[in-house]
Amino acid sequence: MMEVIEEMVLTRGYSITDRVPVLHEYWEESLKGCTPDGEFRVIRARQKIGVSPLGDMLAMYPQGVIIFVGGMTPMATKAVPARVQCFEANYFTFNVLRHCDQPHFEYVSGDAVVDTCDLLGVSYGDLPIMRADDPVARFYGATPGDMFRITQGRYLCYRAIV
C-alpha cells in the first residue's frame, strides 16, 4: 500500500522529505514532504474518525492526504476542506495507472489548458468530460478546470475535469 501512496505523491510533483511513521492517538503520520504551496502530510487513520479527531489533524496538518481504514462519520466528511484529500485504504491496493489496459494519462493544468484548447481550436466546455472523483483524476489530484491528454497507441483524446 505504501508503494502506491508514494507513487501517487511523486506523480503529483511533490517531494518526499521523511518516511518515518509518527504515531498519534487516532492516526499515524506515514509520509511528509513538500509541494509548491508548502508542506504536506500523508496520514493513515487507525479507526473511524469523527469531527473532533479530524479537527485535531487539520490543526496540525493543514494540507495533505488522509487515508481512512474505518471510514469517517458524516459530519467529519462535511468538515474536510478542499486542500485535504480523503481516501479509503482499499483505494491503494493497486495503482490504477499500472493496469495493462489503461491508456497513458498526461495531466494538464493552469495556462497549459488554455494553450491546448487554443491549439485544438475548441473551448474548454466543448471537450468530453471526466469527473473529478474519477480514480485517475483523484490519483493526480485534478480539480475542475484541469484536463487530461489521453493516449493509447496512435489514438489521442482530451478530457476536461468537472
**What burial class does residue 42 get, using C-beta atoms within 10 Å of its C-beta: 0-12 exposed, 13-18 middle, 19+ buried?**
buried
CA atoms in the 13 A half-sphere facing the CB of 54: 22
pLDDT of residue 76: 85
**16: which strand partners?**
33
pLDDT at 4 over 90: no
What is residue 11's predicted lDDT score, i.e. its pLDDT?
Answer: 84
Q: What is the percent of the chain where pLDDT is above 90?
A: 31
pLDDT of 29 over the 80 cut: no
Residue closest to 42 by CA, chosen among 12, 25, 26, 19: 19
Q: Say what the pLDDT of residue 107 is.
A: 94
Question: Where is pLDDT greater, at 132 or 53?
Answer: 132
- Reported confidence tier of residue 74, pLDDT bands at 50, 70, 90: confident
Backbone φ, ψ for residue 114 (5° rounding)? -65, -45
Q: How high is the pLDDT of residue 103?
A: 93
137-157 mean pLDDT? 93
CA atoms within 13 Å, Cβ hemisphere of 140? 21
pLDDT at 26 over 80: no
* Lowest mean per-residue pLDDT among 33-37, 73-77, 113-117, 150-154: 33-37
Indicate whether 121 pLDDT > 90: yes
Residues 30-49 pLDDT 10s: 788 887 777 778 888 877 88
SS (H, E, C) the chain: CHHHHHHHHHHCCCEEEECCCEECCCEEEEEEEEECCEEEEEEEECCCECHHHHHHHHHHCCCEEEEECCCECHHHHHHCCCCEEEEEHHHHHCCHHHCCCCCEEEEECCHHHHHHHHHHCCCHHHCCEECCCCHHHHHHCCCECEEEEEEECCEEEEEEEC
Delineate the domains of the chain, giving CATH numbers in brackets.
Answer: 13-93 (3.40.1340.10), 102-161 (3.90.940.20)
Grid cell for residue 67: 487515508
